[in-house]
Amino acid sequence: MTEKEAKQILDEKVAFMEKINEAIKVDRNSIDNVKLDVFKHPKYGTLEYLVITFKGGAISVRNCRGNSNLANLEQFTQMCFGGYYSEVRRYEELKGGKD
- In this prediction, residue 48 carries a pLDDT of 94
DSSP single-letter state for residue 44: T
Residue 58 belongs to domain spanning: 3-95
- Provide the β-strand partners of residue 45: 41
Nearest to 37 by CA among 60, 6, 5: 60
Q: According to DSSP H, which parts of the chain are helical?
A: 3-26, 69-80, 87-95
Structure pTM?
0.78
CB 34 within 8 A of CB 12: no
> Per the structure, how many domains does the chain have?
1
Residues of the chain with pLDDT under 50: none
DSSP single-letter state for residue 65: T
